[in-house]
């Protein structure tokens, strides 16, 4: 009897799947008959990516991996789609930040004179292992000292947005691009790193000598964001929205 129930359930599931496939096939035929294959193809790709994105992060990883400094603004848009928010830079002329926000991550592109000159990737979930473009590493995958050699330059902030980051100048093979790698704490609550970041920030503000190698966090600091550009560190810092901006622009704190 139990076996019959299982078979019956499987048959019902199979029947529903067949019906859905038949409906989808019929829609495609109708669109083809109307000469709208391009629209149909786009719709099918969008639907496929939406389904895949619900169960894996592969679509998002592939899009991030396609980004390269020097791409045209148009090609960047073809990769990522339309941004939700645009913010002009206050420190570099003709530079604008384009924000793409989702439940998994936030991506910011830096566009200057129709050209991609940098971007920031922020992982919003601990299991979103965003690829570090140009470097064979992923966010949320290891303590920060296992990514690249420790640097003497660090950048921190507290108050409107709390973050700790190390600054790197990449090799000649990577065009001497500037890279920030670190942890950003959106939402306003304390993180395991908060007190240490506050202490470091105060030391830096007072102009005290600070030894990066001696920095000790209660837990190993695992990077959840990076930013890369051919411009300055200040540009990468400016691309990070404050908690207030996040709430005002996206109606949420994170």
Residue 160: both structure tokens together? 């409107």
Bigger pLDDT: 138 vs 29:
138
pTM of the model: 0.81
Which pLDDT value is given to residue 6?
A: 42
Point out the least confidently predicted range of 7-16, 159-168, 209-218, 219-228.
7-16
Q: Which residues contact 12 (CB under 8 A, 6 or more apart)?
A: none
Q: Where are the domains of the chain?
A: 2-54, 70-250
Q: Please say whether the beta carbons of 52 and 59 come within 8 A.
A: yes
**CA-based end-to-end distance of the chain:** 51
Q: What is the mean pLDDT of residues 163-176?
A: 94
154-157 vs 105-112, strand pairing mode:
unpaired
pLDDT digits (tens, 9 = 90+) for 172-185: 999 999 999 999 99
Residue 75: both structure tokens together? 């090609």
Average pLDDT, the chain: 85
């Amino acid at each position: 009897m139990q076996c019959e129930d299982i078979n019956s359930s499987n048959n019902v599931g199979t029947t529903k799947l067949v019906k859905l496939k038949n409906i989808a096939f019929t829609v495609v035929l109708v669109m083809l008959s109307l000469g709208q294959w391009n629209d149909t193809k786009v719709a099918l790709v969008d639907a496929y990516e939406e389904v895949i994105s619900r169960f894996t992060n592969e679509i998002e990883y592939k899009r991030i991996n396609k980004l390269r400094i020097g791409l045209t603004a148009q090609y960047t848009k073809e990769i990522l789609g339309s941004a939700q928010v645009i913010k002009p830079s206050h420190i570099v002329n003709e530079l604008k930040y384009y924000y793409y926000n989702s439940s998994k991550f936030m991506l910011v592109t830096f566009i200057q004179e129709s050209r991609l000159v940098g971007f920031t990737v922020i992982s919003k979930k601990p299991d979103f292992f965003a690829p570090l473009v140009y470097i064979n590493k992923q966010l949320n995958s290891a303590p920060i000292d296992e990514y690249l050699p420790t640097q003497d330059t660090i950048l921190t902030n507290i108050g409107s947005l709390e973050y700790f980051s190390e600054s790197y100048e990449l090799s000649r093979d990577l065009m001497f691009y500037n890279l920030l790698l670190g942890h950003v704490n959106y939402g306003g609550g304390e993180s395991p790193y908060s007190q240490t970041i506050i202490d470091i920030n105060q030391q830096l503000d007072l102009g005290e000598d600070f030894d990066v190698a001696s920095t000790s966090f209660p837990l190993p600091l695992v990077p959840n964001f990076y930013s890369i550009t051919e411009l300055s560190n200040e540009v990468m810092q400016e691309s990070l929205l404050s908690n207030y901006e996040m709430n005002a622009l996206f109606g949420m704190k994170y």
